[in-house]
Structure 1
Amino acid sequence: MLRALVALSRQALPLLGLVTTTRAPEQTGVRGALDRYFLVSERGSTFGREIRGGLVTFFAMAYIIVLNPLILGTVPDDGFTGSFIGGDPELAIARVAATTALIAGLMSILMGVVAKFPLALAAGMGLNVVVTFSIATLPGMTWADAMGIVVLEGIIILVLVLTGFREAVFRAVPRELKTAIGVGIGLFIAFVGLVNAGIVRTPLSLGTPVDLGVGGSFAGWPMLVFVVGLVVSIVLYVRKVRGALLIAIGAATVLALVIQAFAGLGLRSVTTTADGLVAENDTGWMLNVPELSGSPVQTPDFGLLGQFSLFGSIEKIGLLTVVLLVFSLLLADFFDTMGTMVAVGGEAKLLDADGNPPKTRQILVVDSIAAVAGGAGSVSSNTSYVESAAGVGEGARTGLASVVTGVAFLLATFLAPLVELVPSEAATPALVLVGFLMMSQVAGISWTRLEVAIPAFLTIAVMPFTYSITAGIGAGFIAYVLVRVTQGKVREIHPLMWVAAAAFVLYFVRGPLTALL
């Protein structure tokens, strides 16, 4: 009775005006509208975290502005004897850089606005290598033909999303296998960070596949920059300092600028001779030199936009070869994004009980449109970047972070020289720390259940060892089906898992198939 009277009084007193209730004031104006649209408060985030997270993601993946031009802009088509992309070798690199930043900016903003998910996009590393060395350089092929194949792949994958097939395949994957994908990607991006910083590299002796630094030890000022960046990020993260990763990137960049000003280091380069590998300036910067030459502002050249031939490749290399090439790109795009959004969503605590992120279809639609946009812009297929997890590690939880990353990319079309001031050695410590954060998800895998443990292990191991998210997912899918069949539990295998596993078998033997056909 007493509890009932107390409860009644709590309800009645405010109505009588004897007690006033207090509510958290709702934000109004533009800030309030942004908060409600992007679900900032609802997901437990703040505008400060989203901005910091978006900037951290940008700096973690800004290397693509430097690397994509070096891959696409330095190789002639048609059996390495034809023309450079865009037709003018002197403008190729600048055009690819500007258009790479433009497409990445637009697609990242689109992801943030439509899917409201903290996932940024840019030209896919690995995919750009395939487009360059496996498609554009085929005898008779042109860069326009190669980009047409990318557009075709994007259109097909968009149709698969709109028909629900791509989302259905994603939902057919067992939850613990999705967890393994996230863990594998954590190890993968940590490995990427160590490689891009030069901490892990191929030894000149080729005695082992990889080695620590130079001759098994740390040597050179750039490695010091990485170590300082990693130490600062760990200390600030452990101390729960807001903006830990962004502060660490900034501090390491300042140190790099000071070192470069006094030491005048150049880029590290490796050449292959009859005697093996020879490194020039082995203690130099890995990807870009942190120095400003000329004006920090430059007018972007978007002359590559629209330079693609949708069906020109068919008459050059035949329909069957085109189909195989499209299939290879499609499968990589199809499952790379699946793994990336699971990894990022898991780190952001946004996955549901089945391991699915919110607005899965919208995420996949934007990612498919990005593939088309990348081909149409002649910068290779654009895809979701696992480096987005670095922004999530900084606190990002919504699409507002993706918008911030996109705006930064758009500014980079004019401020490319400033972006290049941040060396990979200063940005990659964030990837290593985020790899640790994503590795913690391994506790969610039942290692005593063989039908889960074996596919999970192969997924986690194959990704960093092959430098391929797609290969890791494929190994896990095939192993899952194999173990289930061995256990006599065929009926428990989802039909779409059979389809995916069969597709991966073809993917793994596509080289011999292409040669045979």
Structure 2
Amino acid sequence: MEKLFKLKENGTTVRTEAAAGLTTFLSVVYILAVNPGMLAAAGMDAGAVFTATAISAALATLCMAFFANYPVALASGMGLNAYFAYSVCVPMAEAGIEDPWTIALTAVLVEGIIFIILSLFKFRETLVNKVPMNLKLGITVGIGLFITLVGLKSAGAVIGDASTLVALGDVATPQFALAMLGLIFIGILHHYNVPGFLLWGIIFTWGLGIVAQLIGWYHVDPAAGSPSLFPDFSGYHFLPDAPALFSFDFSYVASHVTEFAVIVFSFLFMDLFDTVGTLIGVAKKGNLLDENGNLPRAGRALMADAVGTVAGACLGTSTVTSYVESSAGVAQGGRTGLTAVFAAALFLLALFFSPIFLAIPGFATTPALIFVGWLMMGSVKEMTFEGDIADVTGGFMAIVMMPFTYSIANGIMFGIITWVILKVLTGKAREIHPVMWVSFGVFALRIITLVI
């Protein structure tokens, strides 16, 4: 164990890593409930998607553990699955194309192969390490705000509003009230240095929800997004459904090269920069960057992500990517790949005991996500808001565009574009690393596709 993960060198223990792995898993397990329903809209079998999601998450997370020794969990990405279902498959189905999900899976496979090639040539690794420090810090802060918003949304504390874009949710709902109580509980445990405080906060909030359901305050209404908080074993069978293995359609590619290329590029763009932003943010939170602000073994971490995407496509699920919620486990003390091993084991366990894991509601993880968001916000103290205008403005754009456009990738896009343009206009073009020029070009192409 010590030889594999270097626990002493990283100042951690097996017990701490186990608690961190469980915390990470509980923070990302919602994908096992969300992804089957999301891809069912694309015409896929929900049971097969559940199995594929759990197995691909376990495989990719184990790759992260043993390739890179980082406490990062991977699974089918939110946002990427929505694009898969609603931007690719639904329009194709409406156009009369049968089983469009097989075409989407083919695009995910090609994207994953391209990522493996980019990782072999160290493009992604260089991008992670050559992003300017102020921009890295801005990305970390932006991700903190982003996951805070994700948590608040899960509890209904923040809702959409036609007039003001966002508004305060109904404070009388049990989801809102119990999430806030859970946050206070986590704060108290953190103050007294209680081990596993985030994990206990999640369990505490879930327990309060169960009580609320028993006394009739929490009303079960699956159609309204309020499922029962008790595990449901009705109709449950021990063996998971078979995944849709190698369900690819290469015939479409030959006759629709341009359309297929656009689909692949969109997957590529979102996955590339979501992953880069997540790794930078989680690494900064866990003090895993070296003295030069670089991420050691970044290439291995990115290769794990690429291999996970290919494996996910072969199993029958949307793009697999690193999860920013891994920062919850890092905040719990996770520092090595052993955290990822425990998380991966729980993904496999979930295959056989899915009712238990799927009973944990989104609002129960809200306190942990909010608290981690606060911790990640601390990086703003290290940022500079004076001096080089490119560093200052680029970092700020990364911060604000992530939560306000609900996309980590958009924050990185506007941060880098702003940074490069200001470097050129202030006569400092020679300070721009080639990989930043390449990223700028990719983002320019992305904006063109959005305009067209």
TM-score, with length taken from structure 1:
0.83
**Conserved? CA contact 1:145–1:313, under 8 Å:** yes
**Conserved? CA contact 1:373–1:381, under 8 Å:** no
Are 1:480 and 2:419 matched, yes or no? yes
Structure 2: which amino acid aligns with 1:184? G
Change in CA separation of 1:312 and 1:262 when aligned onto 2, cut-off 3 Å: farther
Whole-angstrom distance in 1 between the partners of 2:53 and 2:67? 21
**Conserved? CA contact 1:146–1:313, under 8 Å:** no
Structure 2: which amino acid aligns with 1:357? L
Aligned residue for 2:202?
249
1:248-327 superposed matches below 5 A: 248-263=201-216, 265-267=219-221, 285=226, 288-294=227-233, 298-309=238-249, 311-315=250-254, 318-327=256-265
Deviation at 1:98, TM superposition (A): 2.1
Whole-angstrom distance in 2 between the partners of 1:213 and 1:440? 27
**Conserved? CA contact 2:5–2:337, under 8 Å:** yes
- Structure with more helix by fraction: 2
- Greater mean alpha carbon deviation, residues 446-455 or residues 150-159: 446-455
Deviation at 1:461, TM superposition (A): 0.1
* Aligned residue among 147, 159, 168 for 1:212: 168
Whole-angstrom distance in 2 between the partners of 1:456 and 1:303? 42
Deviations 1:372-408 (A, max 9, x none): 1121122101000000000000000000000000000
Structure 2: which amino acid aligns with 1:378? G
**Conserved? CA contact 1:340–1:386, under 8 Å:** yes
* Aligned residue among 355, 368, 387 for 2:325: 387
Whole-angstrom distance in 2 between the partners of 1:465 and 1:392? 25
Deviation at 1:297, TM superposition (A): 6.1
Whole-angstrom distance in 1 between the partners of 2:432 and 2:110? 31
Are 1:185 and 2:143 matched, yes or no? yes
Deviation at 1:425, TM superposition (A): 0.9
**Conserved? CA contact 2:65–2:338, under 8 Å:** yes
Structure 1: which amino acid aligns with 2:143? I
Aligned residue for 1:169?
127
Aligned residue for 1:105?
58
* Aligned residue among 2, 8, 18 for 1:51: 18
Question: Identity rate of aligned residues, in percent?
Answer: 38
Aligned pair count reads: 444
Deviations 1:436-473 (A, max 9, x none): 11110112211102121100110000001111010000
Deviations 1:207-244 (A, max 9, x none): 22111112xxx022222221121111111112211110
* Aligned residue among 384, 402, 408 for 2:340: 402
- Aligned to 1:255, the other structure's residue is in SS state helix
Deviation at 1:306, TM superposition (A): 2.0
Gaps of 5+ in 1: 1-33, 77-83, 86-91, 270-279
Are 1:147 and 2:105 matched, yes or no? yes
Aligned residue for 1:239?
192
Whole-angstrom distance in 2 between the partners of 1:498 and 1:107? 30
Structure 2: which amino acid aligns with 1:409? F
Structure 2: which amino acid aligns with 1:325? I
Whole-angstrom distance in 1 between the partners of 2:251 and 2:378? 48
Give runs of ≥4 in structure 1 deviating > 6 Å.
Answer: none
The structure, 1 or 2, with the larger RCO (C-alpha pairs under 8 Å, 6+ apart) is: 2
Whole-angstrom distance in 2 between the partners of 1:435 and 1:345? 14
Aligned residue for 2:30?
63
Change in CA separation of 1:165 and 1:384 when aligned onto 2, cut-off 3 Å: same
Aligned residue for 2:367?
429
Whole-angstrom distance in 2 between the partners of 1:106 and 1:289? 30
Whole-angstrom distance in 2 between the partners of 1:467 and 1:456? 17
**Conserved? CA contact 2:140–2:376, under 8 Å:** yes
* Aligned residue among 363, 371, 385 for 1:447: 385
- Aligned to 1:299, the other structure's residue is in SS state coil
Deviation at 1:315, TM superposition (A): 4.0
Change in CA separation of 1:160 and 1:260 when aligned onto 2, cut-off 3 Å: same
Aligned residue for 1:419?
357
* Aligned residue among 421, 434, 438 for 1:495: 434
1:97-136 superposed matches below 5 A: 97-136=50-89
**Conserved? CA contact 1:289–1:420, under 8 Å:** no
- Aligned to 1:41, the other structure's residue is in SS state coil
- Aligned to 2:75, the other structure's residue is in SS state strand
Deviations 1:126-157 (A, max 9, x none): 00111111222223262111100000000001
TM-score, with length taken from structure 2:
0.95
Deviation at 1:168, TM superposition (A): 2.1
**Conserved? CA contact 1:179–1:355, under 8 Å:** no
RMSD: 1.6
Deviation at 1:353, TM superposition (A): 2.3
Structure 2: which amino acid aligns with 1:428? T
Whole-angstrom distance in 2 between the partners of 1:510 and 1:376? 28
Change in CA separation of 1:512 and 1:454 when aligned onto 2, cut-off 3 Å: closer
Whole-angstrom distance in 1 between the partners of 2:257 and 2:130? 32
Deviations 1:20-70 (A, max 9, x none): xxxxxxxxxxxxxx0221011110011111000000000001100011111
**Conserved? CA contact 2:128–2:295, under 8 Å:** no
Deviation at 1:330, TM superposition (A): 0.8
Deviation at 1:292, TM superposition (A): 2.4
Aligned residue for 2:450?
511
